[in-house]
Copies of this chain bind each other. A is one copy, B any other.
Amino acid sequence: MTLSIAHLGPPGTYAEQASIFYANWLTKNTGMEAILCPYPSIVQTLQAVAQGQVQLAIVPVENSIEGSVTMTMDALWQLDSLQIELALIMPIVHALISCSASLDEVKTVYSHPQALAQCQGWLERFLANVQLIPSNSTTEALQLLKQDLTVAAIASSRAAQLYNLPILASGINDYPENCTRFWVVSNSKAKAFAHLSSTSNSHTSLAFSVPSNVPGALLKPLQIFAQLGINLSRIESRPTKRSLGEYLFFIDLEADTTTSKMQSALAELSTYTEILKIFGSYNILRITI
């Protein structure tokens, strides 16, 4: 059986690197082969799974420096039948890639807004007067580099190798502890991955909206988990898009949905929420590069 995995492209992105790691891990542990399918945006990557064009998607959720990838959260809330199978945590090391002979010749730097933000201190120190141009992915602008020697891009050193481009500076991220968490997402209707699921999972992710204008509406849900001794590893708010000041809450919990403690917590939670979506339980796999 060959699995198809959607990720943000073009080739050479960090999402592709996470997908390659996962594909190898899959082959080693289950014998299954995987093919990778690059998509031009994160939303299209998740739509491909929701519509059944591919079986899995690997999408960034959160970076330790720049925080949530909001389009992943919004798409997960809006699209139906998406289920998280696994989390991947990958260290991120950025390089400045350019065909120019030295930093002095660089006039423009392209990259994904998250990567530009993760290197802003370095850029202010060494390239204070260049123009920074956000692009859809870290690798989108690499094709421009051979035509124009004054252009540079921030991407992984793996991307430089792949496109046969020189590295002007490496390890340029402002914080050494830079890593990104990805989710491996399947279509819950397909049920193709029941055999992949492990018997116990360390984390559960869910999101909910609460009735508007109820004071302390978030407190009750948090109390339910605290009273049962279930730890929250993350809480994030997103606008409902109905009216300023109305939010959805995304929560990651350190527990498996199948435990009786979680079953009763979720039952109680649903009495306080307007819409409650449970995205599934999963384990975390750390990627070494």
Residue numbers of A with Cβ under 8 A of B are: 43, 62-67, 70-71, 89, 113, 117, 120, 132-136, 175, 177, 179, 181, 215-216, 218-219, 222-223, 226, 229, 231-239, 241-245, 247
Contacts and interface: CB of A to CB of B under 8 A. Distances in A.
Contact of A66 (B117, B134, B239): B239
Q: Is the interface of A mostly helix, strand, loop or mixed?
A: mixed
A239 B179 contact: no
B219 A223 contact: yes
A200 to B, nearest CB: 20
A54 B174 CA distance: 28
B231 A216 contact: yes
Contacts of A66: 70, 239
Contacts of A222: 218-219, 222
Contact of A237 (B120, B236, B239): B236
A43 B133 CA distance: 16
A269 B236 CA distance: 21
B218 A64 contact: no
Nearest to A217: B232
Contact of A67 (B65, B134, B239): B239
A170 B184 CA distance: 39
Q: Which 10 A-B pairs have the closest CB atoms?
A: A64-B244, A134-B134, A215-B231, A216-B226, A219-B226, A67-B239, A65-B241, A219-B222, A179-B244, A175-B241
B218 A232 contact: yes
A113 B134 contact: yes
Contacts of A113: 113, 134
Contact of A64 (B136, B235, B241): B241
A112 to B, nearest CB: 9
A236 B235 CA distance: 8
A63 B238 CA distance: 10
Contact of A244 (B62, B71, B235, B247): B62
Nearest to A236: B237
A261 to B, nearest CB: 14
A237 B235 contact: yes
A244 B284 CA distance: 13
A244 B223 CA distance: 24
Given A181-B244, A234-B245, A236-B237, A117 B71 contact: yes
A67 B132 CA distance: 23
Given A215-B231, A218-B222, A223-B219, A238 B67 contact: yes
Contacts of A232: 216, 218
A181 B233 CA distance: 29
A136 to B, nearest CB: 8
